[in-house]
Structure 1
Amino acid sequence: MQKRKTNPVYPLFSAFQYRPLRYFLFALLMTGCTAMKYVPENEVLYTGYEIKIKSKKRIKSKSRINELMDQNVSPKPNSSIFGMRPGLWFYYKAGPTTRKKGFRSFVKNKLGQVPIYMRDVDAEKTATLLKGHLVNNGFFQAEVKSEVKVNGKKGKVIYTAFLHRPYRLRNIDYPKNNTLFANIDSIKQNSYLKQRQRYNLERLQAEQTRIEQELENYGYFFFDDRHLLFEADSTVGDKKVDLLLTLENGVPKKAKRIYRLGEISVFPDYTISRDSLIRATDTLKVLGYNYIDRQKNYRPEIITKVINLKKGNIYRREDREFTLSHLMSLGSFKFVDIKFIESRQDSALLNANIYLTPYLKKSIRADLQATSKSNNFVGPGLTLKFTNRNFLRGSERSDITLTSGYEVQISRKTPQPLNALELGVESGLSVPRFISPFDIYYPTRKYLPSTDIKLGFRLQQRIGYFRLNSFNLAYGYTWRENTMKTHELYPIDISYMKLGHTSPKFDTLINKNPFLARSLENQFIMGARYTYTLNTQMNQERTEKFREQRFERSNFYFSAKVESAGNLVQLLRGGEFDNDLDNERLNIFGSAYAQFVRGEADFRYYWKLDKSNMIASRIIAGTGYAFGNSITMPYIRQFSTGGSNSVRAFPARSIGPGTYYVKNDNSNENKILFIDQRGDIKLEGSTEFRFDIVKMLKGAIFVDAGNIWLWRENNALAGTPEQPTVDPAPNPHGRFDRDTFLNELAVGTGFGTRFDFNFFVLRLDLAFPIRKPWLPDGQRWVFDEIAFGSSRWRAENLILNIAIGYPF
Structure 2
Amino acid sequence: MIKRIIYLLSLAVILNACSTTKYVPEGEKLYTGGTVKVEDKAISKSDSKNISAEMKTLIRPKPNSAILGMRIKLWLYYKTKNRKGFIQKFLSKYGEPPVYVSQVDLAKNSEIMTNRLQNESYFQASVSGDTIGKKKTAKAVFTALPGPSYTIRNITFPSATDNSLDTAIKGTQAGTLLKSGDKYNLDVIKSERIRIDTRLKEEGFFYFAPEQLIVRVDSTVDTHKVDLVVKIKETTPEQAREIYTIRNIYVYPNYSLRDTSLKLDQAQAYRWYNIIDPRKTVRPYIFANTVLLHPNDVYSREVHNNSLNRFINLGPYRYVKNRFEDVTPDSPKLDVYYFLTPYKRKSLQAEIIGRTTSANYTGTQINLSWKNRNAFKGGELLTVTLFGSTDVQVGGQNNGFNVFQYGAQTSLSWPRLISPFNFRSANAYIPRTILTLGYTSVVRQKLYSLNSFTGSFGYQFKSDIHKTHELNLLEVAYVKPRNITDLYTDSIRNPNNRNPSLKHVIDPQFTMGPSYAYTYDNTTEDYRTNSLYYRGKLSLSNNLYGIISGADTLAGKVKTLFGAVFNQYVKAEAEIRFFHKLTTGSKIATRLLVGVGLPYGNSTILPYNQQFFIGGPNSLRGFRPRSIGPGTVDPSPGDANTFIADQSGDIKLEANIEYRQKLFSIVYGALFADAGNIWNAKPHQVGGTFGPNFLTQMAVDAGFGLRFDATILVLRTDLGFPLIRPYTPAGGTRSITPSFKNAIFNIAIGYPF
Summarize the Cα distance change of 1:571–1:660 in structure 2 as closer, same or farther, 3 Å threshold. Answer: closer
- Displacement after TM superposition at 1:185 (Å): 5.3
Question: Which of 566, 582, 607 lines up with 1:609 in the alignment?
Answer: 582
Instruction: Give, in whole Å, the separation in 1 of the partners of 2:35 and 2:691.
Output: 55
| Structure 1 equivalent of residue 752 of structure 2 | 807
Of residues 334-343 and 37-46 in structure 1, the stretch that sits farther from structure 2 once superposed is: 37-46
| Structure 2 equivalent of residue 389 of structure 1 | 373
Tell me if the contact between 1:334 and 1:357 (Cα under 8 Å) persists in the aligned partners: yes
Per-residue Cα deviation, 1:505-541 (whole angstroms, up to 9, x for no partner): 33233345444423531121111111111112357xx
Letter in 2 for 1:530: Y
Question: 1:374-413 to 2 correspondence within 5 Å?
Answer: 374-409=358-393
Tell me if the contact between 1:368 and 1:382 (Cα under 8 Å) persists in the aligned partners: yes
Question: Which of 738, 748, 756 lines up with 2:692 in the alignment?
Answer: 738
| Structure 1 equivalent of residue 418 of structure 2 | 435
Instruction: Give, in whole Å, the separation in 2 of the partners of 1:229 and 1:260.
Output: 26
Summarize the Cα distance change of 1:556–1:466 in structure 2 as closer, same or farther, 3 Å threshold. Answer: same
**Partner-residue secondary structure (3-state), 1:598:** strand
Question: Which of 503, 509, 531 lines up with 2:517 in the alignment?
Answer: 531
Per-residue Cα deviation, 1:700-757 (whole angstroms, up to 9, x for no partner): 2222222212222333x6xxxxxxxxxxxxxxx2322223x22222222222222222
Letter in 1 for 2:343: Y
Instruction: Give, in whole Å, the separation in 2 of the partners of 1:192 and 1:98.
Output: 59
Question: 1:40-439 to 2 correspondence within 5 Å?
Answer: 41-42=23-24, 55-56=40-41, 57-58=43-44, 60=46, 65=51, 68-69=54-55, 71-77=57-63, 80=66, 83=69, 108-109=92-93, 112-119=94-101, 122=104, 124=106, 125-144=108-127, 146=129, 148=131, 156-157=139-140, 161-163=144-146, 166-176=149-159, 177=161, 178-184=163-169, 186-276=171-261, 278-343=262-327, 345-346=329-330, 348-409=332-393, 414=397, 416=399, 419-436=402-419, 438-439=420-421
Instruction: Give, in whole Å, the separation in 2 of the partners of 1:376 and 1:117.
Output: 50
- Displacement after TM superposition at 1:652 (Å): 0.8
Instruction: Give, in whole Å, the separation in 2 of the partners of 1:588 and 1:284.
Output: 51
Letter in 2 for 1:317: R
Question: Which of 679, 689, 709 lines up with 2:679 in the alignment?
Answer: 709
Instruction: Give, in whole Å, the separation in 1 of the partners of 2:47 and 2:386.
Output: 57
- Displacement after TM superposition at 1:355 (Å): 0.9
Question: Which of 704, 717, 720 lines up with 1:767 in the alignment?
Answer: 720
Per-residue Cα deviation, 1:604-625 (whole angstroms, up to 9, x for no partner): 1111122211111111111111
| Structure 1 equivalent of residue 444 of structure 2 | 462
**Partner-residue secondary structure (3-state), 1:130:** helix
Instruction: Give, in whole Å, the separation in 2 of the partners of 1:352 and 1:584.
Output: 66
- Displacement after TM superposition at 1:442 (Å): 4.2
Instruction: Give, in whole Å, the separation in 2 of the partners of 1:31 and 1:626.
Output: 67
Instruction: Give, in whole Å, the separation in 1 of the partners of 2:300 and 2:422.
Output: 27
- Displacement after TM superposition at 1:157 (Å): 4.7
- Displacement after TM superposition at 1:171 (Å): 1.9
Of residues 553-562 and 244-253 in structure 1, the stretch that sits farther from structure 2 once superposed is: 244-253
Letter in 2 for 1:613: S
Question: Which of 459, 463, 470 lines up with 1:477 in the alignment?
Answer: 459
| Structure 1 equivalent of residue 540 of structure 2 | 564
Question: Which of 664, 688, 694 lines up with 2:658 in the alignment?
Answer: 688
Tell me if the contact between 1:220 and 1:258 (Cα under 8 Å) persists in the aligned partners: yes
Of residues 510-519 and 652-661 in structure 1, the stretch that sits farther from structure 2 once superposed is: 510-519
Instruction: Give, in whole Å, the separation in 2 of the partners of 1:775 and 1:50.
Output: 59
**Partner-residue secondary structure (3-state), 2:578:** strand
Question: Which of 574, 578, 581 lines up with 2:550 in the alignment?
Answer: 574
Tell me if the contact between 1:402 and 1:425 (Cα under 8 Å) persists in the aligned partners: yes
Of residues 455-464 and 554-563 in structure 1, the stretch that sits farther from structure 2 once superposed is: 455-464
Does 2:500 match 1:555? no
**Partner-residue secondary structure (3-state), 1:182:** helix
Does 2:563 match 1:590? yes
Per-residue Cα deviation, 1:252-299 (whole angstroms, up to 9, x for no partner): 1111122222222211111111234x5344221222433211111111
- Displacement after TM superposition at 1:104 (Å): 6.8
Instruction: Give, in whole Å, the separation in 1 of the partners of 2:303 and 2:674.
Output: 48
Summarize the Cα distance change of 1:304–1:659 in structure 2 as closer, same or farther, 3 Å threshold. Answer: closer
Tell me if the contact between 2:588 and 2:658 (Cα under 8 Å) persists in the aligned partners: yes
Letter in 2 for 1:485: K
Aligned residues: 731
Tell me if the contact between 1:59 and 1:165 (Cα under 8 Å) persists in the aligned partners: no
TM-score after normalising by structure 1: 0.83
Summarize the Cα distance change of 1:569–1:333 in structure 2 as closer, same or farther, 3 Å threshold. Answer: same
| Structure 1 equivalent of residue 503 of structure 2 | 517
Per-residue Cα deviation, 1:400-422 (whole angstroms, up to 9, x for no partner): 12233333457x76573764333
CA RMSD across the alignment: 3.2
- Displacement after TM superposition at 1:771 (Å): 2.6
Instruction: Give, in whole Å, the separation in 1 of the partners of 2:343 and 2:313.
Output: 13
- Displacement after TM superposition at 1:488 (Å): 0.5
Summarize the Cα distance change of 1:282–1:688 in structure 2 as closer, same or farther, 3 Å threshold. Answer: same
Does 2:630 match 1:657? yes
Tell me if the contact between 2:158 and 2:166 (Cα under 8 Å) persists in the aligned partners: yes
Letter in 2 for 1:597: V
TM-score after normalising by structure 2: 0.89
| Structure 1 equivalent of residue 711 of structure 2 | 758
Letter in 2 for 1:509: S
Tell me if the contact between 1:444 and 1:481 (Cα under 8 Å) persists in the aligned partners: no
- Displacement after TM superposition at 1:455 (Å): 0.6
Per-residue Cα deviation, 1:348-398 (whole angstroms, up to 9, x for no partner): 222221111111111112222322444444433222221111111111111
Per-residue Cα deviation, 1:659-681 (whole angstroms, up to 9, x for no partner): 33323x5x22x652414111122
Summarize the Cα distance change of 1:510–1:334 in structure 2 as closer, same or farther, 3 Å threshold. Answer: same
Letter in 1 for 2:690: F
Identity %: 33
- Displacement after TM superposition at 1:645 (Å): 1.0
Instruction: Give, in whole Å, the separation in 2 of the partners of 1:30 and 1:476.
Output: 67
Letter in 2 for 1:122: V
Does 2:592 match 1:619? yes
Per-residue Cα deviation, 1:448-497 (whole angstroms, up to 9, x for no partner): 21111111112233334333321111001111111111111111000011
Summarize the Cα distance change of 1:481–1:538 in structure 2 as closer, same or farther, 3 Å threshold. Answer: farther
**Partner-residue secondary structure (3-state), 1:272:** coil
Instruction: Give, in whole Å, the separation in 2 of the partners of 1:745 and 1:153.
Output: 59
- Displacement after TM superposition at 1:427 (Å): 0.6
| Structure 1 equivalent of residue 670 of structure 2 | 700
Tell me if the contact between 1:35 and 1:88 (Cα under 8 Å) persists in the aligned partners: no
Unpaired runs of 5+ in structure 2?
1-10
Tell me if the contact between 1:444 and 1:482 (Cα under 8 Å) persists in the aligned partners: no
Tell me if the contact between 1:78 and 1:113 (Cα under 8 Å) persists in the aligned partners: no
- Displacement after TM superposition at 1:167 (Å): 3.0
**Partner-residue secondary structure (3-state), 1:797:** coil
Unpaired runs of 5+ in structure 1?
1-28, 544-550, 718-732, 788-793
| Structure 2 equivalent of residue 24 of structure 1 | none
Tell me if the contact between 1:624 and 1:681 (Cα under 8 Å) persists in the aligned partners: yes
Greater relative contact order (Cα 8 A, min sep 6): structure 1 or 2? 1
Summarize the Cα distance change of 1:287–1:671 in structure 2 as closer, same or farther, 3 Å threshold. Answer: same
Summarize the Cα distance change of 1:778–1:188 in structure 2 as closer, same or farther, 3 Å threshold. Answer: farther
Summarize the Cα distance change of 1:756–1:150 in structure 2 as closer, same or farther, 3 Å threshold. Answer: farther
